[in-house]
Amino acid sequence: MDLQLLGRVLAMRRTLRAREHWTRSELEAHQQAAELRLRAFAYERSPFYRRFHAGLFDRPLAELPVLTKATLMENFDELVTDRAVRLADVEAHLASMTGDGRFRARYRVVSTSGTTGMRGIFLSDPVEWATVIASYNRAQEWAGVVASPVRRMRLAVVSTTTAWHQSARVGASVRNPFVRTLRVNATDPLPSVVVRLNEFQPHSLVAYASMHRLLAEEQLAGRLRIAPQAVMSASEVLTNETRRLVEAAWAKLPFNVYAATEPAGIASECDRHAGLHLYEDLVISEVVDEANRPVPAGEFGAKVLVTVLFSRTQPLIRYELSDSVRPSDVHCPCGRPFRLLDGIQGRREDVLELPARGGGTVRVHPLIFHDVLDRVAAGEWQVVQEGPALRLLVAGPSPDFDGAAAVAAIRQGVETLGANLSEVVWQEVAAIPRTVAGKAPLVRADRGAFIGRAQGGAGS
């Protein structure tokens, strides 16, 4: 990490720590002032926002239109506030980017993987990037892992080394004398991952939830032999079964982190594990239904609208994330002023739409599959929709795994919702398919496909 960036990150962390002692009224006053500054900046420098919010400049945030990824990318050149930035040039930079390379020697560029149907591209100037890093460092600090000149830290991240992914960009930026970092691609062979972690012996282990499940099983089997002070899960749904395995492997509860490419850190758990504290001093998060109406505490929303209070290069005001989260009205005993989330159940794209008896469709959330598969010895799994049928992919099932019983339970649960399934089969595979960013989604829809017979494994 260059010294200027390091100085900015350390200064921002001091600022964030002070905010954690605010009262609720102090936090809300900060949000209101920061929102007004963001909007004033956007209206002055972004032709898109002057048009998008025309006639609404003085209206409350909740009355502004929702910004989708499609709208952002279609209007990229007019939305960004640096009038010299053009999408074509940014894409060319991404195509050849390595390490911590910067666009126009100033902007760090990250991209979403496009698994929701469209790739999003996002720029950060040096001040914004320091805030991004500080937001992730906040999660580490809440987990009890703090680096300093007298306390060096070894951080292992098992996710992706793809250059345009945010976690890889952060990793390329944070190298400094106080933090040794090992980055491992989640798509690497598991024995190789285990060897590298054993050699590195991390103080903090950060990984996708699906990787934590595999690594915990390796630890329990004696092949992985590490003793991290903190285990942190990000980017995928952390199930109760994975929490149980992590605790069994390392005698520690994992810390859940909610983040996204666009706003960076959104929420994370503190050591009380009472829920995920929203980073409300950095991001205003509105949990809403399909019609963009706020949902009450205790109910899952259909999406989250984020207003990133520190965004300037590419202002994000009521930007839509297709995440289903549940706000809580519980107050954490830690005393921080931030509201909590007590549940994250994945993205809108994770919800399968199956044909319904009598016509129409039935929406099936992946939690129904968790309820079945997290209680059986299935190992790693993925449910694939193929037209009106489901295929259960299972990697590493234990000898007592009963595929026929799992399939029957899935069919019963889905049909109870009114779905009309043509077939359900299960198939043993060497490994669950991962995305280019190394994620292993628990459900996947190949709509329009036909299931046929299970190949290369057991069927039902």
Check whether residue 178 and residue 231 sit in a common domain.
Answer: yes
- Any domain includes 91: yes
Check whether residue 163 and residue 239 sit in a common domain.
Answer: yes
302, 327, 345: which is the final residue of a domain? Answer: 345
Q: What is the pLDDT of residue 449?
A: 41
Structural contact between residues 177 and 112, judged by C-beta atoms closer than 8 angstroms? no
Check whether residue 356 and residue 339 sit in a common domain.
Answer: no
Q: Using pLDDT thresholds of 50, 70 and 90, give the confidence band for residue 128.
A: very high
Q: Using pLDDT thresholds of 50, 70 and 90, give the confidence band for residue 399.
A: confident
- Any domain includes 267: no
Check whether residue 333 and residue 411 sit in a common domain.
Answer: no
Q: Report which listed range, 33-37, 147-151, 182-186, 373-377, is most confident.
A: 33-37
DSSP structural state of residue 304: E
Average pLDDT over residues 48-60: 98
Q: Which residues 6+ apart lie within 8 Å of 454 measured at CB?
A: 391, 425, 426, 427, 460
Cα 222 to chain center, whole Å?
A: 30
Spatial strand order in the sheet of 283-288: 283-288, 303-308, 319-321
What's this model's pTM, rounded to 2 decimal places?
A: 0.81
- Any domain includes 136: no
Q: What is the pLDDT of residue 455?
A: 30
Q: For 67-161, where are the E strands, in sequence order?
A: 108-111, 121-124, 153-159
Check whether residue 44 and residue 61 sit in a common domain.
Answer: yes
Check whether residue 154 and residue 253 sit in a common domain.
Answer: yes
Check whether residue 434 and residue 355 sit in a common domain.
Answer: yes
Check whether residue 77 and residue 10 sit in a common domain.
Answer: yes
Cβ atoms within 10 Å of 226's Cβ, excluding its own: 20
Query: Tell me, what CATH number does 78's domain have?
Result: 3.40.50.12780
Average pLDDT over residues 7-26: 96
For every residue of 397-425, DSSP letters joined together read --TT--HHHHHHHHHHHHHHTTB--SEEE
* Residues 438, 101, 322: CA angle, nearest 5 degrees: 40
User: Residue 8: pLDDT above 70?
Assistant: yes
Check whether residue 241 and residue 151 sit in a common domain.
Answer: yes
Q: Report which listed range, 84-98, 160-174, 341-355, 406-420, is most confident.
A: 84-98
- Any domain includes 226: yes
**How many Å apart are CA 362 and CA 252, to the nearest integer?**
39
User: Which residues face 307 on adjacent strands?
Assistant: 284
326, 345, 364: which is the final residue of a domain? Answer: 345
- Any domain includes 331: yes
Question: Range of 336's domain?
Answer: 1-126+285-345
User: Residue 366: pLDDT above 70?
Assistant: no
Domain count, the chain: 3
Q: Which residues 6+ apart lie within 8 Å of 373 measured at CB?
A: 381, 392, 406, 410
Check whether residue 2 and residue 111 sit in a common domain.
Answer: yes
> Tell me: the pLDDT tens digits for 231-272?
999 877 888 888 999 999 999 999 999 999 999 999 999 999
Q: What is the pLDDT of residue 386?
A: 87
- Any domain includes 378: yes
- Any domain includes 268: no
Check whether residue 335 and residue 356 sit in a common domain.
Answer: no
Query: Tell me, what CATH number does 153's domain have?
Result: 3.40.50.980
- Any domain includes 312: yes
Report helix, strand or coil for 352. Answer: strand
Check whether residue 304 and residue 393 sit in a common domain.
Answer: no
- The mean pLDDT value of the chain amounts to 87
User: Residue 99: pLDDT above 70?
Assistant: yes
> Tell me: the pLDDT tens digits for 305-337?
999 999 999 999 999 998 989 999 999 999 999
> Tell me: the pLDDT tens digits for 142-192?
999 887 666 788 999 998 777 667 777 777 777 667 788 899 988 788 899
User: Residue 32: pLDDT above 70?
Assistant: yes
**How many Å apart are CA 45 and CA 312, to the nearest integer?**
9
Q: What is the pLDDT of residue 374?
A: 63
Query: Tell me, what CATH number does 432's domain have?
Result: 3.30.300
